[in-house]
Amino acid sequence: MLLSLALAAVLAGDPVPGLLVERRLAEAVPLGVGDTVRVRALASGRQPRPFVVAGVFERAADPNRIARNDFEVRFHLSDLEGLLPTHDRVDRFAVVLAPGARGDSAARWIETTALGTRAYSSTGLAERTSATFAVVSRFHDAIGIVTILASAIFLLCVMVIRVDERRRDMGVLRLIGVSRGTVFRAIVLEAIGIAVVGSAAGAVLGMIVARIVNAYYAHLYDTTLRFALVTPRIVILAALLGLALGALAGAFAAWRVVQVAPQKLGER
């Protein structure tokens, strides 16, 4: 729905209805509470009607509206209908159900009130209108899987190289009576320690990058929407993955060493 706004003088003696103006629009014009504007629907051909700015609101952060990022104003329903060329028609509306009400029953009743009416739950509507975000989410999942695999290979290579560089020391330990199990556990614990330090450093770096990304795009779109999140769940998952990958990499590197006779560990 396209509306045009223009500043107007207050009409003395005429009751002027109120409207709410989005903060970004109020700053761009600028407008303040008590100012009078003239509004008309571009498709109606009618003369503009005066409205008084009754308040300024902050638009809720919604990723579905970031691409358009239009300015918004809010009217009383009767005032909005008076601006439009047609009456008793609506494209869509939202219904908030009372606690305990059944959404499926309400949806079936709404669909029987008028021909062609379709009712969707908020979850269903989000799925229908978020195809782009679903594709982006799958792309992020793919990047995450590739990153995890690359990290596992890198950690494995680091552990194999570190163990190979200390084959002589491992041979000495074995010859003086240190058991295979002790050597195996020492290498695994070292790998887990490296993985934990790497996970912690990655979490800190992720938080810093997320703050930079959010600050940049919040300024670009003038929104409170957060574009990058590092949640406790993500940090815990990263730590658990680090522990698991470290243990596996250490176990593989240690197994290669303990299978070799102590007398041959000093050989290249």
- pLDDT tens-place values along the chain, 268 residues long: 444 554 444 444 457 889 999 888 888 888 889 899 988 887 767 788 899 999 998 887 776 666 667 888 898 888 888 888 777 777 777 788 888 888 888 888 888 887 778 888 777 776 666 666 677 778 777 887 888 788 778 878 888 787 777 777 777 777 787 788 888 888 888 888 888 888 888 888 888 988 998 899 888 888 877 888 788 888 888 888 888 888 888 888 888 877 777 666 655 5
Domain ranges of the chain: 3-91, 93-129, 130-264
Given this model, what pLDDT does residue 267 score?
Answer: 56
CA–CA dist 153, 79 (Å, integer): 64
Given this model, what pLDDT does residue 226 score?
Answer: 81
CA–CA dist 260, 253 (Å, integer): 12
Largest separation between any pair of C-alpha atoms in the chain: 106
Given this model, what pLDDT does residue 51 score?
Answer: 92
Given this model, what pLDDT does residue 11 score?
Answer: 42
Cβ proximity of 17 and 52 under 8 Å: yes
pTM score over 0.75: no
Helix, strand, or coil here: 238?
A: helix
Pairing between β-strand 49-57 and β-strand 18-22 as defined by DSSP bridges = parallel
